[in-house]
Every structure is written in structure tokens, then in C-alpha cells.
Amino acid sequence: MAHDCRNFRQEIWPTLDESSRVEQLAKCEDCARWSAAWSQRAQALRSLEPVGAPDLLTARVSAELEGPASRLERAVQSLSRLEVPDELELRVELEELGTRSAPFLRTLDYHRAPNVLERLVNEELADPSASRARRFVGDLENAGAPPALRGRVRAWFIRPKARPGQGPSLRPVVGLAAAAAAVWMLLPLFRGERVASPRNFRVVYVESSEALSPMARSLAEGLSGTASIDATVLKPVGDE
């Protein structure tokens, strides 16, 4: 057998697709014979009936495996130890690095769900039907007031002028009272005092700086001279 034929069969043949193989066999008679012989052998092997293990052997193997733990352990220990593939080792290292570098990663920008959305989701989960009702009630078309109701409301606000003999009007008194109340309420402002006003935003107290954005954390850390000085990083004094 020519050296290039051996090389072809051992090295190149396994890498060829079907059409390339046919093409190559047409060029080389030796290779074509070799291929035909292999095909016949393969066909012959495929036609053989599979022979099962003797019942005695099966019984013994089962008895060994199901017997006392020490035997099973012996069997496992007898297996050759495989080396950890490099790829797995690399992944473990990366995992470890990821855990250690998590605080660094926290300093990078990320996009979290807005608090409002988070709260809405929580409300939805806590009471789905009430939450859904609240959400869709704003989409309902406003129904107009019946004419009779509108008339009564208008009559309430537009009072006829007092006629002679009906007594003095209360309007000046009410006006004066309103002005006095306004002055009383604004007095602290003139004195330079702060007036506590209800805020129309929700205030949520958080216990960890983790909830803050990277920019807010950076400024806080810059002012305090620390990095994430919260209880997740620092041990309390005396807690060795």
C-alpha cells in the first residue's frame, strides 16, 4: 500500500464528506477496494445478533452494586480520575472573580425598574382585583351630571341678592375672616420661618446604599470619604 494511500485513509478520509469520498475513490483503485472491504465488514457486523451477558454475570454485577456501600465505593474508586477540563477551570475562576468583583460592578451604571413600577407590581400582586379596578377607573368615560342636579348646584352658588328687609349680607364678614386667616397663615413666612407643607411625593426610607444610583453613591462616598459605608461592608465596632 502506497504511503499516501495510508495517509489518506488514516488522516484525510474521516474529514471528507460523502461526495468528496466518492470522488477520491474514483481516482484510486486501492482506496476503492479498501473502502469496499470496510463496507462489507461493517455490513457483516451489523447483521450479527447481539449476544446478551450470561444471567450469572448480570446477577453478580447487580449483587456487587447493590451490596454494602463499601463495595460500591470500591467500584467508584476503581474508576480512573479524569482531569478537570481547562474550560471548566476557567469558568470557576470567572465565577469566583465575579463574586469578588461584585462591589466594583455595583459602582457601574445600571438600569433598574423605576420605584413606581416596582410598587405598582407589588400592589398588583398583593390585591390583583383592587389594583386592576384602580388602574382602569381612570379610563372610564366621565358621565355628565343630570340637568336637575346641575340646576340645583347652580342655584346653590348663584344666590339672589338680598332684598330690602331680608337683613344684612354676610359677605363682608366672610371676606374679612378669610383675609385674617390668610394673614395668620402667611405670618411665619414674613418672620422668615419655614412653613411645613404637605409634600406631594412619596418618601421611602431605605437602609442600604445599594438602592441608590451610582451617581448618588459616588457623591455620598465622596462627601463621607468612604466607599459604601453601610452594614453590608462594615462590621460594627467591637464586632471582630
Partner 1 sequence: MKLVASILALAIGTISCDGTTEVVIEHQHQVSGQGSVLHSIQTSNRPHRGVRRYEVHGEVRGAQHALSYIEEVADDGKGCFRIRPVEVTSNLVDTFLYRGMLEERQAFMRRYRDVELRNLELVFENYEVSDLGIDEDVAGRACELLSIVSRDGERRYELAVDTESAMVLRYAEIDSDGLITRSMEYLELDLEADLSDLDCFENTITEREFSDGDDLGYEPWDPRVLPDGYRELETSRISGPLGGQWLKKTYTDGIEALFLLQREAAQKKTAGAAIAQVADEVMVYTEGLLTVLQGKIAGREVIAVGRASADELLSFLDSGKP
Interacting residues with partner 1 (CB under 8 A): 100, 103-104, 107-109, 114-116, 119-120, 134-139, 194, 196-197, 199-209, 211-237, 239-240
> Half-sphere exposure (CA, 13 Å, Cβ side) for 113?
8
CB of 89 to partner 1, least distance (A): 22
- Smaller CB distance to partner 1: residue 67 or 222? 222
| Grid cell at residue 221 | 462616598
CB of 94 to partner 1, least distance (A): 17
- The residue type found at 212 is L
From residue 148, how far is each of 141, 152, 153, 157 by CA, in Å? Answer: 21, 6, 9, 15
DSSP string across 135-187: HHHTTSPPPPPPHHHHHHHHHHHSPPPPPTTS---SHHHHHHHHHHHHHHHHH
- Smaller CB distance to partner 1: residue 111 or 154? 111
- Smaller CB distance to partner 1: residue 58 or 115? 115
CB of 155 to partner 1, least distance (A): 33
- Smaller CB distance to partner 1: residue 25 or 212? 212
CB of 110 to partner 1, least distance (A): 9
- Smaller CB distance to partner 1: residue 174 or 234? 234
CB of 209 to partner 1, least distance (A): 6
CB of 171 to partner 1, least distance (A): 35
| Grid cell at residue 89 | 477551570
- Smaller CB distance to partner 1: residue 34 or 217? 217
CA distance 94 to 83: 19
For residues 169 and 162, the answer to whether their CB atoms sit within 8 Å is yes
Radius of gyration for the chain, computed over Cα atoms and rounded to the nearest angstrom:
44
CA distance 158 to 39: 108
- Smaller CB distance to partner 1: residue 159 or 194? 194
CB of 145 to partner 1, least distance (A): 21
What contacts 115, CB < 8 A, 6 or more positions away?
204
